[in-house]
Structure 1
């Protein structure tokens, strides 16, 4: 391991300055993803700036919703009674991720920023445009079972692994950021990027920008919401596909709906086509399937040496239908 400097500044603004001033500097919070990358040799920071105690570890009621401090641990967020009652999809997504020990360390600010688990990204002996821009994408034509079917490019077909991020995308969350130029707010659905020609950039954050909190609006629809994760084994596995959904039904019709998908793209995928197809539609499995078809109309499965990932299209459809059916039954 390459030696690096370690710093604990006095406040968040000082931490931002320290990282912004050095291209080889990184923030350190729970470290559950960063430590993996250090061990794999994916990163060699010259400076780690510890922000664990510099952002809030509290969940606070604010007018119109909850503010979740960036230092709130995933286990504490999942267990909070306000989250479980008002945003069950968020609590369920957290409990579906990682292990109890990792949830005790992982933070609200860090979880959405975890990087892809693409095996080629994690293997420094293989070309990877995300790790080394311009070197090529070994996943294309390789092992593609876990890769994207939506929004991919010729430069990258990796997926974003956060479970929590899928729920936050469905909930219209807002990300509070502090950077060298001051504070700004980013809609969660705009935090992550599609790969395009620059797959090395996972998010719209500039170097030195620090997530300080995430705001979740008190949408009445969010009280009836669920997270469904389809994976190879029952625990400690990343999603093949996942669905975060909230549903409001009135008089046999879908009055409102929120849907986001995981395991299908370079970012948590807000399913706006499916939402539009469902609003005003009758409550039925046919409506749910038609909505899934509308969302997946542009899906481009990847061929691969492991059989590819075309199976994700029916898998997403089935997971979405099952989730919406469960939510509709709760309404009656």
Structure 2
């Protein structure tokens, strides 16, 4: 199926105008294509130079370069590389993530070169339904590639849809990057830590072999990837289990309280100094969002940690979820010690590991 026919067919059947994936049956024909390339979190944004200004530019930056929540220093979600459509080389077309942006009323040469890929019928369908704004094309130029087309009949429609669907677009690339990283991290896992996870919590923990066992206690496990370098952060992972009594335990203020209770008696910057326990930095308010882990409702918390004696500090991501089979509440966290370096890559690693956790099904269920 040609690309233009694919576009026309998609626009005819989409009513909500959110997401579309190419026919998976077509992927067999991609075996001769080169593998996609690009850094983690890198997106090639293809848009006419004159289009990338004003409110269009602002809306796109709000989507792709929004600051990661919970950090002291500003770090954007993705690394954006803007390219004019007429400057797209063969090498750039091999990028892992490509986003084309256009409006059908734009007569500038760059936008016209993108619009030429849409059939007349496609544009007519879009004109009838202003909620149509996105098309996904997998493996268009390379294997493992994601190509997104964001479009509108005019700039007003494009901007409105970008802002209205910001979280959907961000989530698309977040899941994609997490799956990509997971293929690397979970190539091998630490069998001893996996056994501990099953024994202590009845959880399937996927922890890379670079992490080492540090400490266990009643309903508690601590693993760590030590010896930080300029290329590698010091990352700790902690797991804790308690009884689930009410949904109030999942309220933000109670999650912060639970975190501080867990860490105060179990995690220290200096094991020989009981006053060096880890706690939540309140001056940088933690950020929360709801999601799912292994199909179950979970709350994510991102923020900053510090030791009580303020000798160390860094970033963290926590997840609180409930297993309805055994009425247990699980607290899982990864925190980073990486002074004077960016934390984005380490936080991606933590997110990928913790969100890869699975409940082990109870055979008596």
Check whether TM > 0.5. no
Q: Comparing both structures, which one devotes a greater share of its residues to strand?
A: 2
Q: Between the two structures, name the one with larger relative contact order (CA 8 Å, sep ≥ 6).
A: 1
Structure whose CA Rg is larger: 2
- Given the two structures, how large is their TM-score scaled by the length of structure 2? 0.24
Larger relative helix fraction: 2
